[in-house]
Structures are given as structure tokens and as C-alpha cells.
Structure 1
Amino acid sequence: MISRLIALCMVVGGPLGLMLMGSVSANEMEHAVAQIEWLEKRGGYFNPKLSFAPLGSLPSAAKGVFTTEDIKQGETLLVLPQSAILGSGKESFERDHDFCETARNLLRQYRLGEKSEYWPYVNHVFSNNIRGRLPSQWSDEGKELLKFIKTDDLKPWKPTGVSYRGRCKDDDYEDPLIEDAYFITLSRSWDDKLLPVYDMMSHRNGNWTNVDSNSAHRGKDIVVFAVRDVKAGEQMYLSYNECSDCENYAYTYGLPDLVKDYGFVEQYPQRWIFPGPGKPMVFDLDVKDGLDGKPELYVTWRRNSKPKKKRKEEKIEFLEVHLDRLDMIKDKVYEEAMKLRDHERSVNLEFYETMKTALKYGIADSRGEPIKQVVCMEPTCEVQ
């Protein structure tokens, strides 16, 4: 274990190597190495050109997967045999039922301790479980502010109403950690499947996506591969709503859904879905270099949903009503946010500002009007 840990840390040179040695604790690295060794013992594969690094300076920062060398399109990154996939332990044709069984199975494996055949993975996910990350785990004040910003007219309809007992209709399961197991499963699973190591890769759409896999639901080994050439030092990103196993999520699952299920505001490109009158309006808000070399935002409409013809003004008015509402509640939002814990405050304010930006750009693009950008910094851009 120690020799593998040293090798994994030293394989990366330059700034990334410093991040690994200086910012990822020995305990976290041991968890990563233990998972990789466990995976390989079960017949899996971990590409030696990959390594781990934190995504921020805080001790609680999530970890990402990065490349240490160039990787070619189609190159295999991970192989997860069926024996490494943690599922419900029971076969059925109802994924929602199986999801609940997977949460229960995850907790059973944790209670087994080192006797569990999945222990390196289970130990990792419970050790890194931070309560309060997802909106449904927030304080009552944080939940109310998020619902106040989103309003009942916009999806997801219940951004803070997620729980084991609510979804699984099981009031008799008495283990106090069942809700923890549920939220771990919610934020890490492919429906009813938990995929060790693969779930350490972060989400980002557009040209940033460089990873995909075959389906986790066809009884075959999971092969994770590069979808394009990847340069050394790049972060590995998969898509949570445009992957090969994402079914119909692409145009029904957007930024607010990611906030609900994962507790973060999506980086650009952001997928926005506004119901409006008639067919939903779906667009991506992305950033590019402008003619002057400065970053600027632009809109790409999806599913031919740009407001036009007979219902154009009606749809634009729907967006304008929500933009006006957000402008009116700004002081209230910031006043209430200042009373919250750091994570609840930052997610609420990022969500508020980025929704305002999305609405402004959706309206302007629908009307063919330019927007003067004052400054553009992820995850939000100030506009006038």
C-alpha cells in the first residue's frame, strides 16, 4: 500500500504534483489507492495516466481525476467488472425500487465493516460523506431561501423535498444512517448502480466532456473511455445528463436539477429548462472568447425551442416575469443568505445570480438584442 501511495503521488510533476502532495491528505490518498488496488484485484483496470487532486483549497473540497500524460481518443481509462459494481443485490425491472434497495445494500455493506467485499469503496464514500451538501439536508432557512428563489413555477418542483422515507416509503427501517446511505446513493449512483472510482469524476458538459462509458444496466463490465484526445494535466469530465446511459435526461434535466441532486451550481455550459407556455424552452448558456479576447456568453437553443411565431411574445413574457421577480427580491435574497452557513449561502447566491443571467440572455437572444457584458467570471456573469 505505502509503495503504491508514494508512486501515485510522485507520478505527477509540476503544480499538479504539488497539489497532490500538499492538499490531498494521506488518509484520502490511502482511500484512493485502496480502491484502485481493490478494483485491480477484482479484474478491473485503472489507467496509470490518471491521478487525483482537490478541486479547491478547503479541506472539504471534492476531489477530481486528472491526466498525468496525454490520452488518445478511445483510450480505456477504467474497467469495472460486474463484481465491482454495488447494486441492489436483488434483480427487478423497477429502477426506483432498486435504487432504494441499493441504498439499503450500501448501508448493509458499511455495517459489515472490513468483512464487506466492497469495503475500500464503502469506507471511502462514508468517510467523505459531508452532511448538509445537498439542499434536502440544509437548514430550514436555507431550504426556504432556495424555494423562494426558484418559485413553484419552475422545475424541479420539490428542490428540497428528497429523503429516503419520502422516496422509498419505508418508515420501518430504523438504522440512523439510512438517510446518509440514501444521499450517498443519490449523489453517486447511475440510477440504481454505484460505480467505484468512476464516481470520482466530475460533471461538465460541452467541449469539456472527455469521458463516457457503456451502459451500467446491461450486465456487462463497465468500460470507461476518452471521447476525445486529452492533454496532460486536464481534468476528466463526464456528463450527468448527456452520457450514453442518461436515457432522456439531456433535455429534461438541467442546472436546477443538479443543484437538487448534487448540491452544486453547474459550470459553463449550463443547461436551462424553462417550462413556459407550450413546449419547454431549453437552452445552453456557454462562454467563449470574444473578438477582443475577453470572455463572453452566448445562447444555444435546443430542441428547436427558441420562442417564435405565434407564441413568441407569450414565451418571452414568461421569462421576463421571472427576471423581474428576481430583480425585485434581490435585497431579500442577500439579507437572508448572510444568515446561512457557508455552503448554503454560496449555493443559494450562485443559483440566484446565474438564473438571472440565464433569463437575461434567453430574453435578449429571443429578441435578437445584444447584451453589454461588464465582466464574465464563472459560474456567473454580470450583465446590463
Structure 2
Amino acid sequence: MLVALLLWSSLHIANSDATALPTDEHGDYNGSDLIEWINSHPEGYVHPSLRIGRRIPGDSSSIIGTFVSSAPGAKPIEKDEVIATIPWDRMIGPGDEYSPTTFGSCQAIRNLASELKLGDNSQYAPYVRYLLTQSIEAMPGEWSKAGQMFLRQITADGELPPLDADWFEAAEYKNVWLNACRGSDDSIERLAYYLTSNRDEDTLMIPIYDMMNHSNDPDKLNTLSYKPNKVGDSFVFKASRRINPSEEIFNCYNRCHACSTHFREECETYSFRGTPDIFAHYGFVEEIPHYWWFDRNEGHQVTEIEFCLEKIAATGELSVSWINSTPGDHDKAFFVKHLERLKQIESNKEGLEGQLVQPDNENATSQEKMSRLEWEACWKYHNALITAIDAAIVSLNRIRRGNATAKLIVHDEYDIGDEL
């Protein structure tokens, strides 16, 4: 998966003697060295209208992304035009172990860590210099103990998604990298693990492509990607519609989830994560439309509840489509219980802030206080849960009263490939 939503901020592990990153007239990273490096390869190509920079130029709090340039004379990128072709030896991956149906690789992490340690001496130096500036603090697995415990309170200790506890206390990092891959816990290897788990396209780290931000809004999404079929092939991404000057170029990190219009089409990647997964792995709440799932435990029996949450363009009203079956009365009671509990947490927001959040004028000194970033992320997820659960209850009430017919989406299981 990819994540370009991390803010551009230097890590302590970055070499102070490394070559400085190129910047534009606003002082923002512009990737000019990266573009030149890719174009210097006989098979490499970057569209001349592509711009790398901040969403709000000159605003250090704004995220880095990819855009169509609005400079005088810049042309739009037309539908089906190639945005970039990234040659095999401009990507960092598992080498000869690469397979298009493998979605995790210890060797890919090792190879990335090796290149990061080489820094300016790496054959991927323009890309490595950029990667060494990336922060991992937005990811819940790297949050403070206070931030993780508050998120655990919001999810009722796992009764609400994300149901997989891997996000908690960096368990996934320990299980995958330290145990399964037998890696070490030094700062560079830790960074390599998080970069591959949050920025790669399955097992490939792909420059420029991994700077594209996420959108699952069909009106915003404007690219299609084609990963290598075999070792040595290039990675290509194209415009799926006309992208005009100043428009942002988006990718979708979960293009193939159960609510997607691309389900089973153009789905050769490990990109089926739902809204809770996106938050757990990347630390942000995506825009509506959402894909939600809940597990209601009753004794030894688990009932899965899945639905799609969309916004009707004409009215702005939220619409719920249930996946495979419509929930029953016990499921509705489950939703009502948690909606009331979440609202109770919200009623004490001011008191919790004073208790849990590190003051802005103090440096973090312990795990007992969370950062402002963690606090705001928790509340965005809290609000997303309330919105989804409330919409689910409204839908079920309308169905019970006979004011609406249940909208069902039925999907069969299908094989997506091999994980790590």
C-alpha cells in the first residue's frame, strides 16, 4: 500500500551531511532531482506537466502530493496519457523474488533498509534522500501509549473496528519484521518496515507514484496503474480522465474493496482495505464513500455486519447498502449501544483533552500524554464511527417501518494472492 499523506519532516536518523533536497520558489520539496533521475533512464518517463509539491504551496502544514502544473504554458494530462513510466531498476523491491501476486516480502524490506543506510551512496540516491525525510509518527502503531489507549477506549477494546489488534503497540511490526523476517530494531530498519507497509505497491517502492495521495471519491480519482508482470518490467500509471492544470493527481489505496465499482476489475493489487483498515495503517480517515464492517460477538458465535456508506450527490443524504444480508434486531441493538457509548465519550471531550494531551508549549516527556496529532486523529475516527453507525441505524429503522427497501450488495469470495 501507499501513503503520501505523511508530512514532510526530517527524521533524526537522516544524515545531516546528505545532499539537500531540491525546493521550489516557496521552499517546498519539488522532486526535480527525482524526475531528472527517472527521465535519464532510457525506459523512464515523467509527463512534463507533472508537479511535485505541497497542496498549499508555502504552507509547511500542508501535505506533499502530485499535481498537474498550473505554470504558464502547462498542458492538461489527457485521458489515457501516461503520467509516468518507472523502469524496473528505478524501483526498490524484492529483486528476483518479485511476483505480481505476492503482497508482502521480507527481502523487499531488507533491500530498502540497505539502500537507506547507503544514503547518498545508494544507486537510488534521489529517491532514498526523499524517503529518509519521511515521518512515521502519524501511524497508530507508533503512537504514544496514551494515544493508543484512547483509541482502544473509542473502539471498546476491539468491539468496534479496527478489529485486528495489530495496530496496537506496533504488534504488526514486531510480528512481521522482528519475528517473521528476523530483522533488527534499529531506526533505519524500523523506517524501512513502515515505508514498505505504508508506501509500497504490494512489494515495490515506486518513486513519484508513492507520493500520490489517496482518494476513493470517484469524482476525484483520476489514475489507473499497471504493475510489472515479471522481473524487469516497468511500472506504468496513466490518467483515467482528463486532469486539468492545478488539479491533484490521486491514487486509491483501497480500490478493490467490497464497495468499490472496481471490484474484481483492475484489482491486481492488495488494495481491498476498508475504512477502519485505512485508519489503522495510515492514521487518517478517508472521505466518504466508506466501506465498514463490524463483528458482533455473542457467546462463541460471531456475526459479521458489512455495509457501504455513500453520499447522495443531489441531496447530500447518506445512503447505506448492506453487503450480503440485512442485519437483524440484535445487530441494531449492538449499534445503538455503541452509538450511546461514543456520544458519552464525546460529552467529556474537554476533560479528556486536559488529562491526555501534551500541552503545545511542552516537549513530550512520557508515554502518559499524547500529541495533538494523535488527539485530532482519534476524534476524526470517533466522528467517522458515529456517522457510520448512526446512518446504519437510520437505514434499519426505515427498513423496519417499510419506508425503504434494503439495498443489498452480494459478493462471492475470491483469491487475491499471497501475503507475507
Higher helix share: 1
Matched, 1:160 2:147: no
> Is the Cα–Cα contact under 8 Å of residues 80 and 241 in structure 2 kept in the other structure?
yes
Q: Is the partner of 1:192 in helix, strand or coil?
A: coil
Superposition deviation, residue 235 in structure 1? 1.1
Assess, with a 3 A threshold, how the Cα gap between structure 1 residues 90 and 63 changes in structure 2: closer, same or farther.
Answer: same
CA distance in 2, matches of 1:279, 1:165: 28
Q: Residue 383 of structure 2 corresponds to which residue in structure 1?
A: 353
Partner AA of 2:388 in structure 1:
A
CA distance in 2, matches of 1:61, 1:345: 18
Q: Residue 113 of structure 1 corresponds to which residue in structure 2?
A: 119
Superposition deviation, residue 23 in structure 1? 4.3
Superposition deviation, residue 326 in structure 1? 0.8
> Is the Cα–Cα contact under 8 Å of residues 52 and 66 in structure 1 kept in the other structure?
yes
Superposition deviation, residue 36 in structure 1? 0.7
Matched, 1:242 2:255: yes
Match of 1:184 among 177, 195, 219: 195
Matched, 1:266 2:286: yes
> Is the Cα–Cα contact under 8 Å of residues 270 and 286 in structure 1 kept in the other structure?
no
> Is the Cα–Cα contact under 8 Å of residues 291 and 306 in structure 2 kept in the other structure?
no
> Is the Cα–Cα contact under 8 Å of residues 294 and 304 in structure 2 kept in the other structure?
no
Superposition deviation, residue 363 in structure 1? 1.5
Q: Is the partner of 2:291 in helix, strand or coil?
A: strand
Assess, with a 3 A threshold, how the Cα gap between structure 1 residues 22 and 353 changes in structure 2: closer, same or farther.
Answer: farther
Q: Residue 374 of structure 1 corresponds to which residue in structure 2?
A: none
Paired residues for 1:51-66 under 5 Å: 51-55=51-55, 58-66=59-67
CA distance in 1, matches of 2:375, 2:61: 16
Matched, 1:70 2:81: no
By relative contact order (CA 8 Å, sep 6+), the higher-ranking structure is 2
Q: Is the partner of 1:275 in helix, strand or coil?
A: strand
Which moves more between the two structures, 56-65 or 41-50? 56-65
Superposition deviation, residue 35 in structure 1? 0.8
> Is the Cα–Cα contact under 8 Å of residues 274 and 282 in structure 1 kept in the other structure?
no
Partner AA of 1:111 in structure 2:
K
Partner AA of 1:211 in structure 2:
T
> Is the Cα–Cα contact under 8 Å of residues 240 and 246 in structure 1 kept in the other structure?
no
The TM-score, its normalising length taken from structure 2, stands at: 0.72
Q: Residue 213 of structure 1 corresponds to which residue in structure 2?
A: 225
Partner AA of 2:197 in structure 1:
L
Paired residues for 1:1-384 under 5 Å: 23-25=26-28, 28-29=29-30, 32-42=31-41, 43-55=43-55, 58-68=59-69, 69-91=75-97, 95=102, 98=105, 100-127=106-133, 129-151=134-156, 152-156=158-162, 157-158=164-165, 159-162=167-170, 163-168=172-177, 169=179, 170=181, 173=184, 175-207=186-218, 208-216=220-228, 218-219=230-231, 220-242=233-255, 244-245=266-267, 247=269, 249-250=271-272, 253-276=273-296, 278-286=303-311, 288-290=313-315, 296-301=316-321, 303-305=323-325, 307=326, 311-332=327-348, 334-338=350-354, 339=357, 340-368=370-398
> Is the Cα–Cα contact under 8 Å of residues 78 and 241 in structure 2 kept in the other structure?
yes
> Is the Cα–Cα contact under 8 Å of residues 24 and 53 in structure 1 kept in the other structure?
no
> Is the Cα–Cα contact under 8 Å of residues 216 and 286 in structure 2 kept in the other structure?
no
Superposition deviation, residue 187 in structure 1? 1.5
Matched residues, number: 334
Superposition deviation, residue 304 in structure 1? 4.3
CA distance in 2, matches of 1:82, 1:114: 20
Superposition deviation, residue 249 in structure 1? 4.2
1:243-267 deviations in Å (ceiling 9; x for gaps): 63554743xx212211121121112
> Is the Cα–Cα contact under 8 Å of residues 255 and 272 in structure 1 kept in the other structure?
yes
Q: Unpaired segments of 5 or more residues in structure 2?
A: 1-22, 70-74, 257-265, 297-301, 358-369, 402-420
Q: Is the partner of 1:147 in helix, strand or coil?
A: helix
Superposition deviation, residue 312 in structure 1? 2.8
> Is the Cα–Cα contact under 8 Å of residues 51 and 65 in structure 1 kept in the other structure?
yes
The TM-score, its normalising length taken from structure 1, stands at: 0.78
Superposition deviation, residue 195 in structure 1? 0.9
CA distance in 2, matches of 1:186, 1:200: 14
Q: CA RMSD in A?
A: 2.7
Assess, with a 3 A threshold, how the Cα gap between structure 1 residues 237 and 283 changes in structure 2: closer, same or farther.
Answer: same
> Is the Cα–Cα contact under 8 Å of residues 217 and 287 in structure 2 kept in the other structure?
no
CA distance in 1, matches of 2:226, 2:145: 40
> Is the Cα–Cα contact under 8 Å of residues 278 and 285 in structure 2 kept in the other structure?
yes
Assess, with a 3 A threshold, how the Cα gap between structure 1 residues 96 and 229 changes in structure 2: closer, same or farther.
Answer: closer
Q: Is the partner of 1:233 in helix, strand or coil?
A: coil
1:96-126 deviations in Å (ceiling 9; x for gaps): 661x322221111122222211111111011
Q: Is the partner of 1:78 in helix, strand or coil?
A: strand
Sequence identity percentage:
24
Assess, with a 3 A threshold, how the Cα gap between structure 1 residues 263 and 227 changes in structure 2: closer, same or farther.
Answer: same
Superposition deviation, residue 301 in structure 1? 1.7
> Is the Cα–Cα contact under 8 Å of residues 289 and 308 in structure 2 kept in the other structure?
no
Superposition deviation, residue 236 in structure 1? 1.1
Superposition deviation, residue 362 in structure 1? 1.8
CA distance in 2, matches of 1:45, 1:177: 30
